[in-house]
Amino acid sequence: MTAEAAALVRSYRVGRYTCTWTLRRPVRGAVVHSTCEWSPHLPRSLTAGELREYRKGRAAVFDELARVTGLRTLVVEA
């Protein structure tokens, strides 16, 4: 994803990891896609506390996206 295409890039800590969300600039009538990158590597599993941190940070990122763009956001977790 190029920097020009990003509407929002936010990072936050999840335990010893850093989670970085990149959200593409919305295109009218299209679904907005995002990517989540983990550093230093993708964790195999998260503790209950880390999972709470991840979800809290993710919610903050999508709340900010909604404020910045005026869009409604939905996260589906399977």
Dist CA 3 CA 37 (whole Å):
15
Write the pLDDT tens digit of every residue in 1-57: 455 568 789 999 999 999 999 988 777 787 777 899 999 999 999 999 999 999 999
- Domain boundaries in the chain? 3-69
Span 15-29, pLDDT tens digits: 999 999 998 877 778
At CB < 8 A and 24+ separation, what contacts does 15-22 make? Answer: 15/46, 15/47, 15/49, 15/50, 15/53, 17/43, 17/50, 19/54, 19/57, 19/58, 21/58, 21/61
pLDDT tens-digit readout, 62-71: 899 889 888 8
Cβ atoms of 60 and 9 within 8 Å: the answer is no
Q: For residues 38 and 16, what is the distance between their CA atoms, to the nearest angstrom?
A: 10
- Residue 29 pLDDT: 81
